[in-house]
Amino acid sequence: MSVLLSPWGDPPSTIKLARGEVHLWRFRIDLSADVIAGLKPLLSSDELLRAERLFDPLKSISFVAARGRLRQILARYLDLQPAAIEFSYGVQGKPRLAAESDQQLSFNLSHAGNWGLLAVASGLVVGVDIEKIDSQLEYEKMADLVFSPAEVVCLGQYARKRRRRAFYRIWTRNEARLKGQGGGFSTPSRMGQGTGWRIRSFSVHRDYLGALALATEVIKVQRWHLH
């Protein structure tokens, strides 16, 4: 059975997520200084420390924006204040809710360029990835380095003008699965491994490609756009 994605829609004021369902949220992270200043107080002291330690100011702002939005969105499901949410971390850094929620809520976050992407699920393991398609990236060299031989062959079968997007499609699918598994860059043979995952690709915005990986079968995924 395939994963059906709804169009990106406006979220209702009250969000309901039944067991076995997945919601995908997209939101901008290129926010004004005023909005960033309003999000900062939502972050925990360790998150603020992490933001401070990020050498690149743009990365620091993106981190604050993505964590702030993550907290605001999760608060809708948990009936908590965004600042009251506590996270704990897997061995390779995958964040999860510190306290077990009634809905067994799980989530995974990704951000790239101007956009953030968040999957929220109930009773399911999820992974997401978003990448901005870089027109300058020497993607064929990168594919030779990190893709499996079968993926390199697959990439070569695309017409040249479609090949860059195909590279990002394979890349984001692998990353989403890896993130679902909670692995990281240190995980051996990171590309082309792993079975039993259901993966769906989609466009998040022009030049931004996303992928969602689910460890189980889900029929319908609701997509929300956060303004």
153-192 residues near ligand COA, rule: CB under 6 A: 175, 178-179, 182-186
Residue 92 interacting with ligand COA (CB under 6 A): yes
User: Least distance (Å) from ligand COA to the CB of residue 127?
Assistant: 6
Judge contact between 109 and 95, C-beta under 8 A.
Answer: yes
User: Least distance (Å) from ligand COA to the CB of residue 93?
Assistant: 4
When the beta carbons of 16 and 194 are compared against ligand COA, the nearer one is 194
When the beta carbons of 166 and 211 are compared against ligand COA, the nearer one is 211
User: Least distance (Å) from ligand COA to the CB of residue 67?
Assistant: 6
User: Least distance (Å) from ligand COA to the CB of residue 141?
Assistant: 19
**Minimal CB distance residue for ligand COA:** 184
Distances (CA, A) of 53 to 27, 49, 57, 109, 182: 24, 6, 10, 20, 23
Judge contact between 213 and 18, C-beta under 8 A.
Answer: no
119-138 footprint of ligand COA as x/- string (CB under 6 A): ----------x---------
Judge contact between 175 and 184, C-beta under 8 A.
Answer: no
The binding site for ligand COA (CB under 6 A) comprises 63, 66-67, 92-95, 108-111, 129, 175, 178-179, 182-186
